[in-house]
A and B are shown apart, each in its own frame.
Chain A
Amino acid sequence: MSPISRGTDWDFDLLERYDSAIAHVAASFGLDTYPNQIEIITSEQMLDAYATSGLPVGYPHWSYGKEFIRNEQAYRRGMQGLAYEIVINSNPCIAYLMEENTMATQALVIAHACYGHNSFFKGNHLFRQWTAADAILDYLVFARRYVMECEERRGAAAVEEVLDACHALMPHGVDRYRRPAALSLKAETVRLAEREAHRERHFNDLWRTLPERSPEIATPAACFPAEPQENILYFVEKYSPKLEPWQRELVRIVRKLAQYFYPQAQTKVMNEGWATFWHYTILNRLHEQGLVNDGFMLEFLKSHTNVTGQPAFDSPVYSGLNPYALGFAMFADLRRICERPDAEDREWFPQLAGSDWRVTLDFAMRNFKDDSFIAQYLSPRLMREFHLFAIADHTDQDALRVDSIHDEHGYRRVRKLLAQQHAQEIRVPDVQVVRFDRDGDRALTLRHLRHRGRPLTETTTQVVAHLRRLWGFAVRLETWENDVRIGDVVECPA
């Protein structure tokens, strides 16, 4: 077949032709996606989009302005390039493409975002469980309008104060487990009727003869909430004694946004790896079919290698593990294990070696998040390729110690540590609401469960002050480790 296009220029007609070719290949690999919507934007619009974490609609807030200024400065001084695309987890799946991109880059981006990320959004369990792709855009529009209306009525300063406080607590505004759905009136009536029926069935007059409990014992010292609550913003929204209804709604908006981003933060390696793996696979297939020429492939490979580079820890450009590099390597390696396993793979992944790679990859994409994905699938070969090693940083030692390296004894340990490093539960400090003194001074008590002696930063006081602003009464933060209270209580009085 002859190539779809030559040269670097793109137009709308070519975009559609590339898209249909890519869609065809993607379908042949069995990728299941939302419908796509591609939007062409300029670099300045891309900077705008950066500032609001890629969301197409956002409520006004100074922190987005700060983010915008920071990116703009960095971009104008040439310290930072712009992403080729931004993709939004919505239905239809919206991808922003920059007009400056060449045809090859546009095709790369379509394969990456519109088929890679898109199928991940649709398939991964976290996204399925926690985000409503159909509703997010409408909700964003609502949020923006609501915030702006509040500003009009209550003044921008009052709204900003609430939003600042909510932003500080955003990482602690997500549900990690589903709440039971509220009972409807009908269900509640049925439940009461059943309970009544049960009581009648098991009626025994003897119970009446038992002495009544004294009231003090009947109501044990009321501790509320009965269980510690990890979703601080939710607790504030539901129980804050002082918040006005509009403030509650603002808290709710920030909480919803935090929840929307919750799966993204936990699947960075998987999501980027999956999208990178598929743009690589799809475009290579197009090349095999003769739909793109060698020049196209060279340009594509250059962009691809740029994205998947992993500098060593002591390189001046090192900035952490590159999720694109690790994710792509893992999915590509997984395919290799399925197709061409060696003895080591058979020993480590007996159930994967020789299986159908498409089924295996699809299963991995759907059912894991970064930490479990690494714990499950990182192979010794990749640890050697990445030269992964773990160092231990312990307070009582005056030097760092190499804990384990990529060798026979270290594989499992390195893999476990790397998985933990990607676990959201470990990256965000464990701070929970333990007590709301409803009948007393209405103070709120938080508990930080310290893990392995790692303290909180000094900005903690500011966060507590923010929470105090939302709560309206005193807020205390205690630190506990191994059931022992440690250090001073951070307190912000009423």
Chain B
Amino acid sequence: MLHVIDRRPNGRGKSAVNRERFLRRYKTQIQAAVKKMIGERHLADMERGGEVRVPKKDISEPSFGFGRGGDREIVLPGNREYAVGDRIPRPKNAGGARGGNDNGQGDGEDAFVFSLSREEFMQIFFDDLELPNLARTELGRAERQKSARAGYRKTGVPANLAIVRTLSQSLARRIALGGVLARELQALESAFSVAVAVGQSDFAAEVHAQSERLARRRAGLPFLEESDLRYRNRVLRPEPIARAVMFCLMDVSASMDEEKKDLAKRFFTLLYLFLARQYGEVELIFIRHTDDAEEVDEDTFFHDTRTGGTVVSSALELAEKIRSERYARGWNVYAAQASDGDAFGADPARSARFLRERLLPATRYYTYLELAAPAVQEQASTLWAEYARVAEATGNFAMRRATEREQIYPVFRDLFRKESQ
């Protein structure tokens, strides 16, 4: 009596709960590993999972067992040359037995290595930022026309010629027309041989002439005709724009220390992650500024130091210049600016005006993070005051001050909420 049960539809993931328990138990080690990865990684790589090493002794489950020492005998298979009384030098690493399996497992055994999936990585990343589960939100409304394949048509330009399709048309036509001729030809040939056999030479000659005519017609069937030609058909369809460009603007003047840069990196990462979820393609532009602005690559952006004053408007102008030159049409533009707010003279007012009049109308969302030292948190900078007025007047601008990592997420809260409506 046999029961066969197909358990495959039950699905996997019975161990998911246990895996999650494991991750929770070793959360501190894993968080440390994730933090290290965040520091080392490029923004665009941030979303991948990663490998975590946990020291083996931390996760071992203890039980009473035998240590080294004492007297014992071990039975092993595969004796070739030993006789009773032979002496074998004690192997260095193993607990006694000269097992070949002890080789080559030195350092690798000290750590328990496993990979975090993308989701787990993100969860730990967001845990740190005290971010609630980030749901996939609706795509932006911007649209563009995109041509798409839509079957075949009989007219078109040579570049769109569908060769395989054309040839199969031609083959079909030749079989259809040639087959009839071949049958007729066969009938004539048999009539001819009958006529020859019974001696009707006139009839035979007539039949022969007819069959020759048919053979000529068959040979004359064209390989390709106008009617065989087929062209790939393309139609234009509206499609949401699936690309975004993200401007990262950062003040790198002397007052921005490593601590603040780390905060800024998390701020940029968060916006990047959000965009990467929304758009198929996200380009990154890094603009740093002191008293003048320049476009740099990511490593320079985060790790290179510069000295100088602060002129915020220079960065905004450069951003607008790059946008209008390279990303004028068909791009969703986002920008994130991090600064400690130390701007002087006419610069803050000029920046705010430029932002309101030129940059914001072309941007889907603009975020500003002011990195303040804890001591001076109470006192708002001049840039902050100017920007605050911009924020009141426009809907796609958000600003926050932050001294701790946990304060970064709220900057985006409005953005996430808006998109998910």
- A residues neighboring B (CB under 8 Å): 12, 15-16, 19-20, 23, 35-42, 44-45, 47-49, 51-52, 60-66, 68-70, 72-73, 92, 96, 99, 156, 160, 164, 167-172, 310-321, 386-395, 398-407, 409-410, 414, 417-418, 421, 428-429, 431, 448, 450-460, 462-463, 466
* C-alpha gap A104/B23 in the complex (Å): 40
> With A313-B100, A390-B75, A400-B98 as given contacts, are A60 and B17 in contact (CB-CB < 8 Å)?
yes
Q: Are A168 and B84 in contact (CB under 8 A)?
A: no
Contacts of A168 in B (CB 8 A): 61-63
Contacts of B90 in A (CB 8 A): 393, 398-400
Query: Given A429-B65, A466-B62, A391–B2 Cβ distance below 8 Å?
Result: no
Partner of B76, one of A169, A313, A429: A313
Smallest Cβ-Cβ distance to A394: which chain B residue: B71
- CB-CB < 8 A to A49: which residues of B? 14
* Complex Cα spacing A164 to B12, Å: 26
Q: How far is the CA of A401 from the CA of B86 in the complex (A)?
A: 6
Chain B 81-109 near chain A by CB (<8 Å), digits 1 or 0: 01111111110000011111101000000
Interface SS majority for chain A: mixed
Chain B residues near A388 (CB, 8 Å)?
A: 75-77, 79
Task: List B contacts of A454 (CB < 8 A).
Answer: 66-67, 69-72
Given contacts A47-B15, A314-B78, A390-B73, 20 further A-B pairs with CB under 8 A are A38-B4, A48-B12, A48-B13, A65-B17, A66-B59, A73-B113, A169-B63, A310-B77, A312-B80, A317-B101, A386-B77, A400-B98, A403-B73, A429-B65, A429-B66, A456-B65, A457-B67, A463-B63, A463-B64, A466-B62
Q: Does B180 sit within 8 A of A, measured CB to CB?
A: no
Contacts A390-B75, A399-B87; A35 near B101 (Cβ below 8 A): no
Pairwise interchain contact B64-A171, C-beta atoms closer than 8 A: yes
Instruction: Give the residue among A64, A168, A409 with the most B Cβ atoms within 10 A.
Output: A64
Which residues of chain A have C-beta atoms less than 8 A from B76's C-beta?
Answer: 313, 321, 388-391
Question: What are the residues of chain A within 8 A of B1 when measuring CB–CB?
Answer: 35-36
Contact across chains for B67 and A458 when beta carbons are under 8 A apart: yes
Residue B6 at the chain A interface, CB threshold 8 Å: yes
Tell me how many residue pairs across A and B have CB atoms closer than 8 Å. Answer: 266
Complex Cα distance, B73 from A63, in Å, reads 32
What 1/0 mask marks residues of chain B from 1 to 33 whose CB sits below 8 Å from any chain A CB? 111111110101111011111111100000000
Partner of B112 from A70, A92, A386, A457 at Cβ < 8 Å: A70
A455 touches B71 (CB 8 A): no
Residues of B within 8 A of A60 (CB): 17-18, 21
Identify which of B61, B72, B100 contacts A63 (C-beta below 8 A).
B61
Given contacts A313-B77, A405-B84, contact A452 B100 (CB under 8 A): no
Report the count of interface residues on B (CB-CB < 8 A): 64
Cβ-neighbour of A45 out of B10, B61, B113, B114 (below 8 A): B10
Q: Is B115 an interface residue (CB 8 A)?
A: yes
Complex Cα distance A460/B62, Å?
7
Footprint of A on B, CB under 8 Å? 1-8, 10, 12-15, 17-25, 59-80, 82-90, 96-101, 103, 112-115
Asked if B22 contacts A405 (CB within 8 A), the reply is: no
Q: Which A residue sits closest to B25, measured CB to CB?
A: A62
User: Would B64 and A460 count as touching, CB distance under 8 A?
Assistant: yes
A-B contact list, 11 entries, CB within 8 Å: A12-B4, A12-B6, A40-B5, A68-B22, A314-B98, A316-B103, A321-B77, A400-B90, A404-B84, A452-B72, A454-B71
* Known contacts A41-B7, A402-B82, A402-B88; A313/B97 CB under 8 A: yes
In the complex, A459→B56 CA distance in Å? 13
A400 and B97 alpha carbons, distance in the complex (Å): 9
Interchain CB contact under 8 A, B96 and A393: yes
CA–CA, A169 and B63, complex, Å: 6
Nearest CB to that of A169 among chain B residues?
B63
Give the Cβ gap from B2 to chain A, nearest Cβ, in Å. Answer: 5
CB distance from A479 to the nearest CB of B (A): 11
| Shortest CB distance A29–B (Å) | 18
* Given contacts A40-B8, A45-B10, A68 and B15 within 8 Å (CB-CB): yes
Separation of A374 and B62 alpha carbons in the complex (Å): 30
Min CB gap B242→A, angstroms: 31
A351 to B21 Cα, complex, angstroms: 56
Q: Is the CB of A313 within 8 A of B2?
A: no
B79's partner among A51, A156, A406 (CB-CB below 8 A) is A406
Residues of A within 8 A of B101 (CB): 316-319
Chain B residues whose C-beta falls within 8 Å of the C-beta of A12 in the assembled complex: 4, 6
- Of A41, A63, A389, A456, most B-chain CB atoms within 10 Å: A389
The answer for the CA separation of A459 and B58 in the assembled complex, in Å, is 12
Chain B residues within 8 Å of A460, by CB: 62, 64
- A76 nearest CB across to chain B (Å): 9
- Are A48 and B15 interface neighbours, CB within 8 A? yes
With A73-B115, A456-B65 as contacts: A51 and B84 at CB distance below 8 Å: no
The 3 closest A-B pairs by CB, nearest first: A312-B78, A454-B70, A65-B22
Chain B residues, Cβ within 8 Å of A448: 64
Q: Report the nearest A residue to B21, measured CB to CB.
A: A62
